[in-house]
């Protein structure tokens, strides 16, 4: 009798399980594949069209709402680069805007190629990712920006992760050294900009460049990179955020580490 009950219970369980499988709608993930296919095609087309120019895709040209931009910069208009005021000509609107390897966005295109290759396994994307990553080799010697993490971690950092070779580590370490060269011990922060009327400006965006330092610290076992990244992050945590957890765009410091001023140079408030 007990054996019969066990069989009945087992039969009922299997029947319920099968019924639930049949009634549960199957999730449709085809939109993900479509999105990847479209993105991959766009990236490959851009890579082919820009190949040989020594440039990288940056954005699509659009017009600016100049009244809004000028209102945002009323407090410190002297730091507003006049080049941003130039409206695209009619024949430029909607067209691709290119940039050189020293532009702060230069790492984004090779980084996107690496991510697309990772998700699709498409070897054409890998070849193009290598091509445009190698284009950024001169950045390893560049000391004029804090955006080195954007530029090198997005490109060479992803290359090291997805197609490692024995030349990448040196590029990343040299770049990290240059980023560390912008660190001030008295202020405990990495300087962002070398223009404007600020004494020592640090922008919130700089936090996204710290990944390069953490990755190089992990690769080399040298904690000086990690220590600088953490000190910068702590200084940002202490001074950039308002009580409601919104943040200032720029905090500038005096040489003794006290705050010179807080403001927004780009953004709404």
In a domain, 18, yes or no: no
Highest mean pLDDT among 54-63, 93-102, 229-238: 229-238
pLDDT at 6 exceeding the cut of 80: no
Asked whether residue 115 is assigned to any structural domain, the reply reads: yes
Residue 4 falls in which region: left (phi positive, over 0), alpha (psi -120 to 50) or beta: alpha
Say what the pTM is.
0.81
What is the per-residue pLDDT across 250-260, written as a single tens digit (0 to 9) for each?
Answer: 999 999 999 99
pLDDT given for residue 91 in this prediction: 84
pLDDT at 266: 75
If one counts the domains in the chain, the total is 1
Let me know if residue 20 belongs to a domain.
Answer: no
12 inside domain = no
Q: Is residue 27 part of a domain?
A: no
Torsion angle defined by CA atoms of residues 121, 124, 127 and 130, in that order, rounded to the nearest 10 degrees: -70
Q: Tell whether 239 is covered by a domain.
A: yes
Predicted pLDDT at 94: 84
Burial of 159 (0-12, 13-18, 19+ CB in 10 A): buried
- Which residues belong to the active site? 147, 205
Supply the CATH number for residue 81's domain: 1.50.10.10
Residue 112 to residue 110: CA distance in whole angstroms: 5
pLDDT digits (tens, 9 = 90+) for 77-100: 555 554 455 677 888 888 889 999
Q: What is d(CA 115, CA 154) in angstroms, rounded to the nearest whole number?
A: 10
Q: Is residue 50 part of a domain?
A: yes
Instruction: Give the tens place of pLDDT for each residue, 106-146.
Output: 999 999 999 999 999 999 999 999 999 999 999 999 999 99
**In this predicted structure, what is the pLDDT of residue 268?**
63
Range of the domain at 45: 36-263
Residue 246 to residues 189, 204, 231, 265, 268, Cα–Cα distance (Å): 20, 11, 21, 15, 11
Average pLDDT, the chain: 88
Using CA atoms, how far apart are residues 257 and 187, in angstroms rounded to an integer? 4
């Amino acid at each position: 009798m007990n054996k019969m009950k066990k069989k009945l219970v087992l039969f009922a369980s299997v029947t319920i399980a099968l019924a639930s499988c049949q009634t549960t709608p199957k999730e449709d993930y085809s939109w993900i594949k479509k999105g990847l296919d479209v993105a991959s095609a766009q990236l490959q087309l851009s890579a082919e069209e820009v190949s040989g120019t020594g440039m990288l895709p940056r954005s699509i040209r659009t017009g600016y709402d100049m009244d809004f931009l000028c209102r945002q910069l009323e407090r410190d208009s002297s730091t507003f680069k006049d080049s941003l005021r130039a409206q695209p000509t009619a024949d430029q609107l909607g067209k691709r805007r290119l940039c050189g390897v020293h532009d702060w966005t230069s790492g984004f295109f090779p980084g996107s190629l690496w991510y697309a290759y990772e998700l699709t396994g498409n070897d054409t994307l890998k070849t193009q990712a290598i091509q445009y990553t190698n284009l950024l080799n001169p950045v390893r010697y560049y000391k004029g920006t804090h955006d080195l993490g954007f530029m090198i971690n997005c490109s060479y950092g992803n290359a090291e992760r997805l197609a490692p070779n024995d030349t990448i580590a040196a590029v990343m370490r040299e770049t990290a050294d240059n980023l560390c060269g912008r660190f001030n011990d008295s202020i405990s922060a990495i300087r962002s900009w070398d223009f404007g009327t600020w004494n020592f400006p640090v922008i919130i965006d700089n936090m996204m460049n710290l990944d390069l330092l953490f990755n190089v610290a992990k690769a080399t076992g040298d904690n000086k990179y990690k220590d600088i990244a953490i000190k910068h992050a702590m200084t940002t945590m202490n001074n950039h955020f308002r009580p409601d957890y919104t943040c200032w765009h720029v905090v500038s410091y005096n040489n003794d580490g006290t705050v010179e001023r807080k403001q927004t140079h780009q953004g709404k408030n």
